[in-house]
């Protein structure tokens, strides 16, 4: 079956890298990436690199370039991020055959330890620095977070998939409809919308000895600043969550005021992500990387669990955990 990366053979990967004047030693090693194809390699001088091949037709060239320019801007401001490599003509987005790709210096490290107050402080400091630069100007080509409309679109894609039976479709539409009503009532102040990382979970924060870098800005978008905060801390134990958040806030406020007024957006943003993530998996099922990584999507049990999770999230929209 044909899919967007069906012709991205190891030979094509090697030739693409060599086309920009970098010479890999050995075959690049594929990393766990599904939306794009991401591989790690060493060059002949011992340098370590990551090459990302963008999923065809997902982003426009302008949107990808805006991501790269954002990274370069914040890196030049001293924010610890991994910016793309640029060639002698300052180009960061390259093309080989039908594929668009870019290269990044490899960033190694580990995710923050949430039981270490110093690491939480450092994490908050990095986010504050990022948002201080991000708030200076808007995106023009990246997406803007739209709670209600984006959820409606995701619902249509899930319902059109072959995975839910009639009973599950009714239950899914019922709970998503109630969530959407809640999201339609959420007011997001336009002045609170800034350029954000967009997918700021612990897997996209790497560091050593308490010094962290943010990686993978593939989903950067215009959104409230709290979008880059809420995914970092588990909410299962509200008291522990508040203590962890307090440390992050202290670090954040080394650079800029923390957006406390956006805390009410946490549960709507969580609901938004839950619904959109399932729709993303449905959309990508024809790509063989997805059935291999997420085989449970085709099982009825997953959709029963997902619906229960959404029902629980509906309760959290009514009584937010962070207020517990």
Please list the active-site residues.
199, 216
* CB 120 within 8 Å of CB 114: yes
Residues 6+ apart with CB under 8 A from 190: none
Helix (H) or strand (E) holding 101: strand 99-105
Residue by residue, DSSP assigns 270-319 as HHHHHHHHHHHHHHTTTSTHHHHH-GGGGSHHHHHHHHHHHHHHHHHHHS
């Amino acid at each position: 079956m044909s899919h967007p990366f069906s012709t991205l053979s190891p030979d094509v990967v090697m030739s693409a890298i060599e086309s920009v004047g970098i010479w890999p030693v050995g075959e690049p090693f594929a990393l766990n990436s599904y939306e794009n194809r991401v591989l790690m390699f060493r060059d002949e001088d011992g340098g370590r690199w990551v090459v990302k091949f963008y999923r065809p037709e997902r982003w426009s060239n302008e949107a990808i370039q805006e991501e790269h320019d954002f990274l370069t801007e914040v890196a030049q401001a001293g924010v610890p991020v991994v910016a793309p490599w640029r060639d002698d003509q300052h180009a960061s987005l390259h093309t080989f055959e039908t594929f668009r790709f870019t290269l990044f210096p490899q960033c190694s490290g580990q995710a923050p330890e949430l039981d270490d107050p110093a690491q939480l402080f450092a994490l908050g400091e990095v986010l504050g620095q990022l948002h201080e630069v991000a708030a200076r100007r808007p995106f023009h080509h990246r997406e803007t977070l739209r709670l209600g409309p984006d959820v409606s679109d995701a619902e249509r894609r899930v319902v059109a998939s072959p995975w839910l039976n009639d009973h599950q479709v009714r239950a899914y539409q019922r709970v998503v409809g109630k969530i959407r009503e809640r999201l339609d009532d959420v007011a997001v102040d336009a002045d609170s919308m800034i350029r954000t990382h967009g997918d700021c979970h612990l897997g996209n924060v790497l560091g050593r000895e308490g010094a962290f870098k943010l990686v993978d800005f593939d989903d950067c978008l215009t959104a409230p600043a709290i979008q880059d905060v809420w995914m970092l801390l588990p909410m299962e134990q509200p008291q522990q969550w508040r203590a962890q958040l307090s440390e992050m806030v202290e670090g954040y406020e080394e650079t800029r005021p923390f957006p406390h007024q956006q805390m009410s957006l946490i549960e709507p943003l969580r609901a938004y992500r839950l619904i959109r993530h399932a729709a993303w998996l449905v959309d990508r099922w024809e790509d063989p990387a997805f059935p291999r990584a997420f085989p449970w999507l085709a099982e009825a049990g997953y959709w029963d669990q997902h619906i229960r999770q959404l029902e629980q999230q509906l309760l959290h929209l009514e009584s937010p955990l962070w207020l517990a």
